């Protein structure tokens, strides 16, 4: 059994104040390795000068603390699957369509697809837990994944037989969602500009060995991007591609 914990970075709005990118990322742990990962997470907090019982939020850490957390978290055995949407690249008619059932649901479809493929490759099921966010209508999301996408003519490749539990929990109820927050935030920092107009790609590059690559293919599996874009125009993807060529 695999366990996937999902969080996001950025927002799913399309207003001038919205983030340029929305990233939804998942921490994927084998059931047998979950306890060790949580124990290692306590060490991550210590490295960041936080108490083991304190909730760790990626966006509240400074740069040295973020680097310390990533160095330690990489000692755990897990996989990363992520989907990122560059909102300005969607056509106007696509934007209207994505507002129902929301861009978040649209991206989740791609992420759940890939989680089900990973479970199928490993001949098991995957339990999926989302971070309970105010903007998330979980009943709507569940209906979208398990009912609407099963209707004839719907464009999905979800392997539903490889899906297990499907639920959401508050950040405070599930330690592993803290790790998912770190992963999503690290990727988001490489795409969405900070208050000074900068991005930080080194966080994502450090996570690259954990991203699911199948038959040499990263972008169809471990790091899906939509819509289709010229990756070379974005520093993060240019840096990833250079790193993978070495």
* Average pLDDT over all residues of the chain: 93
Q: Which domain holds residue 154?
A: 2-245
Task: Categorize the per-residue pLDDT at 102 as very low, low, confident or very high, splitting at 50, 70 and 90.
Answer: confident
**Is the confidence at residue 98, as pLDDT, over 90?**
no
Count: domains in the chain: 1
97/170: higher pLDDT: 170
Q: Do the Cβ atoms of 9 and 184 come closer than 8 Å?
A: yes
**Is the confidence at residue 101, as pLDDT, over 80?**
no
156/69: higher pLDDT: 69
Tokens of 62: 């400074």
Report the candidate in 177, 124, 120, 113 with the shortest Cα–Cα distance to residue 2: 124
For the chain, the three-class secondary structure string (H helix, E strand, C coil) is CEEEEEEEECCCCCCCCCCCEEEEEEEEEEHHHHHHHHHHHHHHHHHCCCCCCCCCCHHHCCHHHHHHHHHHHCCCCCEEEEEEEEHHHCCHHHHHHHCCCCHHHHHHHHHHHHHHHHHHHCCCCEEEEEECCCCCCHHHHHHHHHCHHHCCCCCCCCCHHHEEEEEEECHHHCHHHHHHHHHHHHHHHCCCCCCCCCCCCHHHHHHHHHECCECCECCCCCEEEECCCCHHHCHHHHHHHHHHHC
Which CATH number characterizes residue 111's domain? 3.30.420
Question: Which pLDDT does position 94 carry in this prediction?
Answer: 86
**Is the confidence at residue 135, as pLDDT, over 80?**
no
Question: Which pLDDT does position 111 carry in this prediction?
Answer: 97
Question: Which pLDDT does position 121 carry in this prediction?
Answer: 97
93/76: higher pLDDT: 76
60/102: higher pLDDT: 60
């Amino acid at each position: 059994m695999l366990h996937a914990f999902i969080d996001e970075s950025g927002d799913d709005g399309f207003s001038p104040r919205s983030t340029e990118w929305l990233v939804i990322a998942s921490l994927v742990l084998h059931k047998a390795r979950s306890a060790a990962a949580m124990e290692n997470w306590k060490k991550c907090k210590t490295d960041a000068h936080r108490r083991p019982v304190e909730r760790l939020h990626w966006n509240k850490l400074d740069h040295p603390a973020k680097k310390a957390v990533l160095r330690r978290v990489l000692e755990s055995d897990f996989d990363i699957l992520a989907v990122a949407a560059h909102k300005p690249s969607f056509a106007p008619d696509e934007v209207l369509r994505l507002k129902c059932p929301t861009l978040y649901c649209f991206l989740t479809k791609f992420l759940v697809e890939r989680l089900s493929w990973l479970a199928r490759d490993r001949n098991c099921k995957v339990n999926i837990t989302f971070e309970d966010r105010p903007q998330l209508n979980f009943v709507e999301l569940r209906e979208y994944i398990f009912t609407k996408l099963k209707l004839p003519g719907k464009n999905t490749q979800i392997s539903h037989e490889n899906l297990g539990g499907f639920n959401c929990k508050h950040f405070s109820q599930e330690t592993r969602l803290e790790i998912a927050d770190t992963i999503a935030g690290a990727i988001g920092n490489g795409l969405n500009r900070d208050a000074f107009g900068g991005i930080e790609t080194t966080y994502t590059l450090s996570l690259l060995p954990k991203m699911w690559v199948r038959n040499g293919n990263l972008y169809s599996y471990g790091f899906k991007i939509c819509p289709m874009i010229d990756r070379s125009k974005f520093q993060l993807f240019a840096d990833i591609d250079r790193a993978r060529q070495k």
